Amino acid sequence: MTTHVLILCTHNSARSVLSEGMLNHLAARLGKDVRAHSAGSAPSGRINPFALEALQNAGIDTSACRSKSWDEFSTNSAPPLSIVITVCDSAAAEACPVFFSGNGQPVKVHWGYPDPSNAEGGDEGKRRAFELTRQAIGYRMLQLLALPLQTLGRDALQAALVEIGHS
């Protein structure tokens, strides 16, 4: 059974897109049955070009990337979510919609990352910030993929995800 992970950020243009790309790429490379999705509470409608560049430079296909609303994941046709991760502080403070899966509500966790879009140093500073953010996200996604997702109980999964967020 596929583990569906939804990654939320306000505009769904940078950190959540990096997270979706990294998790899907690493899951495919490791043969894990995990599928990442990303969305925003107030999607910008565009992906930050530095996010696309960071993913492409890491060999990740970005052709399917798009900025979308979290409303897409609260419909009957949405994938059954197991985990919801917020990656920006403003999204963590927002009232998230209630997402249900076949097993009830998904486990929710916050893994904050500074916004690389605000990096100083012009384009090169932003490129560096996006690449460092991509690497930090990749490190946590590898830890997530190392978990026995199919056998962990809800409380154990919650605790493991919180622990990863502290790493």
Give the pairing of strands 3-8 and 81-86. parallel
From the candidates 88, 91, 119, 157, give the one annotated as an active-site residue: 88
Query: Beta strands of the chain (E only): which ranges?
Result: 3-8, 34-39, 81-86, 107-110
Cβ atoms < 10 Å from Cβ of 103: 12
Given strand 3-8, what is the order of strands in its sheet?
34-39, 3-8, 81-86, 107-110
Of 78, 96, 132, 152, the active-site residue reads 96
Q: Which residue has the tokens 């403003």?
A: 90
Q: Pick left, alpha or beta for residue 31 (phi over 0 → left; psi -120 to 50 → alpha; otherwise beta).
A: left
> Does residue 88 carry a catalytic annotation?
yes
d(CA 17, CA 36): 10
Does the active-site annotation cover 65? no
Q: From the candidates 9, 18, 26, 36, give the one annotated as an active-site residue.
A: 9
> Which helix (H) or strand (E) element contains residue 20?
helix 15-30
Catalytic residues: 9, 88, 96
